[in-house]
Amino acid sequence: MLELSTHIVYKLQRTGVLVLGCSAGGFELLTHILQALPPTLPYGVLAVIHRNARYETHLEKKLADKCAIGIKAAADKEPIESATAYFAPAGYHLLVEPNRSLSLDVSEPVHFCRPSIDVTMQSAADVYGPATAAILLSGANKDGAMGMMSIHRAGGLCIAQDPRYAEIDTMPAAAVALGGVHLILRNDELIIFSKQLSNYTFRN
CATH number of the domain where residue 118 is located: 3.40.50.180
Query: Cα(173)–Cα(65) distance, rounded to whole angstroms?
Result: 32
Tally of domains within the chain: 1
> Taking residues 147-173, what's their average pLDDT?
97
Active site residue 50: yes
Which letter does DSSP use for residue 76 in this model? T
> Taking residues 130-155, what's their average pLDDT?
97
> Taking residues 17-25, what's their average pLDDT?
95
Q: Is residue 1 part of a domain?
A: no
Domain ranges, residue 73: 6-128+136-199
Of the chain, the percentage scoring pLDDT greater than 70 comes to: 95
Q: Is residue 159 part of a domain?
A: yes
Contact, 174 vs 145, CB < 8 A? yes
pLDDT at 172: 97
Full-model pTM: 0.94
Q: Is residue 204 part of a domain?
A: no
> The sheet that has 17-22: what strands, in order across it?
70-73, 84-87, 44-49, 17-22, 132-136, 157-161, 183-185
Contact, 70 vs 60, CB < 8 A? no
Catalytically annotated residue among 143, 150, 182, 194: 143
pLDDT at 111: 81
Active site residue 23: yes
Q: Is residue 102 part of a domain?
A: yes
Active site residue 143: yes
pLDDT at 53: 61
Query: Cα(1)–Cα(5) distance, rounded to whole angstroms?
Result: 13
